[in-house]
Amino acid sequence: MDRIAEITSFTVPPRWIFVRVRTAEGLTGWGEAIIPKRRNAVIGAIRDLTEVVLGMDPARIEDIASSLRKGSFFRNGPILGTAIAAIEIALWDIKGQRAGMPVFEFLGGRVRDNIRSYTWIGGDSPANVVSHAKERVEQGFDAVKMNATPAVAHLEWREATENLVQRMGSLRDAFGGSIDIALDFHGRVPRSVLKQMVKEIEPFDPLWIEEPFLPEHVGADELMARICPHIPVATGERLLHRWDFQRLLARGGVDVIQPDISITGLFEMEKIARLAEIYDVGVAPHCPNGPISLAASLQVDFCCANTVIQEQSLGLHYNQGYAGLPPADILDYIGDPDVLTTRNGRFDCPAAPGLGLILKGDTIKAAHTDWSLPDPDWRHRDGVYAEW
């Protein structure tokens, strides 16, 4: 029986945390953690978990993940969640490599030949969206996403709404209905502003309104469904596990859920997708992350029929030299770029074992550096700290 022998974390540009798991028999799997602004806490959590799992059988993935989630009296939270997810994803990579098959074959097998993808335009404070969208269309995409607004205070709806209407109008003038446009509100916009804003943007037919409320505003999704009955509502990137999603789904105010595999873990995200199917809700995995998170998300996409579109970070503003770090993009650390290259805006079904990636270990090791990312200091005009 094989054993987990070593777990190593690498922090690399643009802001990614890669986790390598090696076994006593020489197999290597890769996972990815997120929350780069709390890098030290995430790395510390991975070190703590490493002490628990060294010597365990890497094939017992669910048992290992359960022990890591339940072994502490104080549990849950995004830091612990992403640390567990990174290790768990790497173990699935190992399991697939050992069996010589993609991970989705363990989860029911392939249900589709390809999946649609979308990418970002516009940045944190959206600008130049038409030129960015033209680049994406030239790359083959027919779906894009942009942040809806910068920081917005209560009742200050007019300027933000006019700006969003102008951007949506310019995109529709340039592309008509040939592209879908998703709007990410990032939990930034107070309900007093949302009520005005959604009324004005409905004629532009957005693909969805994403995270219109913060997850701690329980029940706000139901309000959103009432004030925005004709635009799909998407949310869920900050939720941790199927219990969080069950409560969200049961309220009936969401049309598309967006679990992040580097928070939930791979098997947990598959369970969440199956749960959403009961409620006739689509799944669009959240992934403005690195190549390992994307490859893991694709494994779930190809075994769950209700996954509808896959986010990816190609050309994302965070990859362009964020907070002084060197730039990097999702293909820079993998040996076979074709695996994560879209064709006509779609990912083909992975065929290689495990997650399907060959990571450039030497490149990752050379790029590894300790870095610290500052928190944003977004403030309203009165000095109050703003949601970002």
List CB contacts of 220: < 8 A, sequence separation 6 or more. Answer: 191, 212, 213, 214, 253
**Can you tell me the distance from the alpha carbon of 286 to that of 288, in angstroms, rounded to the nearest whole number?**
7
**Which helix (H) or strand (E) covers residue 143, if one does?**
strand 143-147
DSSP 255-307: SEE--BHHHH-HHHHHHHHHHHHHTT-EE--B--S-HHHHHHHHHHHTT-TTB
**Can you tell me the distance from the alpha carbon of 207 to that of 133, in angstroms, rounded to the nearest whole number?**
15
CA distance readout (Å), 7 to 4, 22, 99, 288, 351: 8, 6, 21, 24, 26
Both structure tokens of 274: 């199956």
Catalytic residue among 186, 217, 230, 241: 186
**Can you tell me the distance from the alpha carbon of 246 to that of 69, in angstroms, rounded to the nearest whole number?**
18
> Which residues is 145 bridged to in the sheet?
120, 182
**Can you tell me the distance from the alpha carbon of 61 to that of 5, in angstroms, rounded to the nearest whole number?**
15
Under 8 Å between Cβ of 117 and 143: yes
Ramachandran sector of residue 364 (left: φ over 0; alpha: ψ -120 to 50; beta: rest): alpha
Catalytic residue among 286, 317, 368, 380: 286
DSSP 359: B
Is 154 a residue of the active site?
no
The vertex-78 CA angle with 75 and 80, nearest 5°, equals 50
* 102 φ, ψ (degrees, to nearest 5): -65, 155
Give the residue numbers annotated as catalytic, written as ranges: 186, 286
